[in-house]
Structure formats: structure tokens, C-alpha cells
Structure 1
Amino acid sequence: MVEFAQIANKLLTPVKRRMQLMVDRAIVTTVNNSLTRQNLQLIALEGETPNNVERFVNYGSISYPPDGSEAIVVCPGANRDAMVAVAVDHKTTRPQGGEQGDSGLYHLEGHLFILTKDGLFNLSGKKLNLTLETEVVITTPKHTINADETIFNGKVVVNGGMESQSLKSGDINATKTLKVASVDVGKHSHLDAEDRPTKAPTAP
């Protein structure tokens, strides 16, 4: 019985060794993002430094991990020369907390986009750039903008009416022509009590 176990162990040891070499953990030292498939340079077991390791990123996703990230690598057929990276994570910058079911995107600088419960989208950062070729359509019962200043470059069309608190307690300043119902506010005149046209408004 002992002899059989020794023979079996002798036969299975190479298989066991190959299986152990099929999946490994590694540290990312360099990322080459200029190729059709992202390549990594890694430090793996016992100082092994594989180069040009292809990283498979899910279709539709973009990910450029920083140096020092951790990778899970797979070696098909236990061939270390055929190593590919199937997952890469940078645990020190990964957002913590949240609730089960949350998902999103994050950057190592801290800005992030989170989808959470109750249909809520949370986007935090410093600046948002939208570049669209045709138009932006927002369909919602209510749209609120909280900003100290809002700038419109270009024509503004308002359908459905407009209310403004500044009409009650503030000023409306226009550097060009301001028209209301096709009437030039800066040049229009009225009729006085004797039906004579008044002068156009002047600055105080």
C-alpha cells in the first residue's frame, strides 16, 4: 500500500506542480496602454518578472490601472510564457462602504460615479465635460440647478413660460438688445396722458 502511494505521488507531483502554475497573483510594475490590447509588466512568484502580459478588459470598458496594482493571472496549459491577466485591482484607492447592490466607476484621485438604491445616480468630481454632436434631451418633471452663476453661450429659447425672482427684487442686465413680445425694451416709448409719445428709456 505504501509503495502504491509513493508511485501515485510520483506520478501526480508533476501534475500538481503544473496546476499550481496555472493561476497566480502578481504586482503590476508597468502598463503599456498604446497597443490594441493592454500589456502589463509584472512581478510574480519568487521574483519572476514576465513582460508583455496581455490584459483582457471586458468589452465596452476602459481601465488604465496605476503601477503597484495587483493582478490575477492565468497561464493556459501551465505555460508561463502564455500568461494573461484576467483581473487587476488597486485596493488602496477602491471606494469603501456603500450598500449591497451598489456599482459604479471610480478614479484614483477620488472622483466617482455611483449607482445606488432607489434609482439614485451619484456623480462627484471637479468638472463635467459633455461633447455631443447633435443635442442633449432631458425629460423630467423638475430640473434644479444650484449654482452661483450660470452662463449660456448661444441662443436660449424658453417654451412654456418663465418665472424669475429677480423681476421682484433684483436687476436684469443686458449688454445687447432685450426684447419682450418683439418690443425693444431699450428703445420703446409710451403715450402720455395727452397721447403724445414719450422718449425712449435712459440710463439713470
Structure 2
Amino acid sequence: MSIIITGTIATGLVTIITVIAKFTHGAWLVIVAIPLIVVLFNKIHAHYETLAQQLKLDKSDRTETKEIVTPKVIIPISGISKVVDQSVQYAKSISDDITAITIVFAEEEEQKIRDKWYKLYPDIELKIIYSPYRTILSPLLDYINKVEKETKGATITILMPQFIVKKWWHTLLHNQTAIFLRFFLILKKDIVIATLPYHLKE
């Protein structure tokens, strides 16, 4: 026992002396890095433990839905195309409360897109927002936030039409607004974000 204690003390003293002697030669990095790594790993472990507890499903946690409430569907569009038409047809299959929304940068565009829309979809509301400063994301978020307050906790489905290109690098040229919109909406509790892909041939 005395040998173990003596060895421990000697090791400790050597460590302290080495740290002091080599502190400016990089020993400080080990002193700082090791505790930080230990703390980081403990935090990660605690996160996984908490996550597992929140996701664990027990029979008592299940709640049977007595009434299925159809969601309000909002379809952000930049124009009228095959991609949008596919999304509209899908939206009709899940809800009868559908609104399409588009942002225009010139007032003369409004009537043109309105006429074209109601010729194709006379039973679906089209919300047109004029954005003189050519911003898209902010008006979209403002409108969705307004609808969210009006629905008072009811589920809203944001159905985003998206075409899928064949070449991966083409992705960098398209669908950027959808990516940012999804990023800002993902944290909202009562909003479902759905993407309906339309696959291009080339």
C-alpha cells in the first residue's frame, strides 16, 4: 500500500514539474485540451441520453386520434409549371383548404399570373404579394406566420414544389429559396414542411 502511495505522489510531482518546466513549450495545450475534450464528451453523452429518453415510446405515451383534421396547405410558387401542377394535384388529395402564394417584383406581373392561375385552378386561392425590394423569403415568412396565428395551433403543411436535376452540380443553381425557407420553418411546432420532387429527364 505504501509503495502505491509513494508511486502516486512521485508520479504527481513529476507531472507537476514537467508541466511547469514545459508550460511555454506546449504543455499548456495539453492542460487545456484534455479537460475540454472530457467536458465535450460528457456533454455529447448527456445529449444522447436525453434524446433517447424523449424519443422512447411507451404505451402510455400513445394517444389515439379521435378526429382526423385535414391540414391547411400552402404552396409557395414562383410561376406555373409542371412542377407546380404536380404539387397542386397532390395537395387536393390531402386537403380542401389550399392556398398558393407567389411573390412578384412588378405590379404588372400580378394580373398576368392571376389570370393564368384561375384558368387552370379556379377552385384554389392564389395569394400574390408585391415585393418592391425584390425579396422573397421575408414576405413568405411573414405570410406563413400570419396564417399560423390565424389557425391557432392547427396544422399547416407547407408543400414546396421542387424539381430534381440529373447532375449534382445543377442543384447549386436552383431551389435555394426552398432550402432557406425550410431552415427557418423547421423549428415551428405546428408546421409540416413537405417537398414533392419532380424529376427532370436531363
* TM-score, structure 1 as length reference: 0.19
Say which structure is richer in strand.
1
Say which structure is richer in helix.
2
Higher relative contact order (CA 8 A, sep 6+): 2
* TM-score, structure 2 as length reference: 0.19
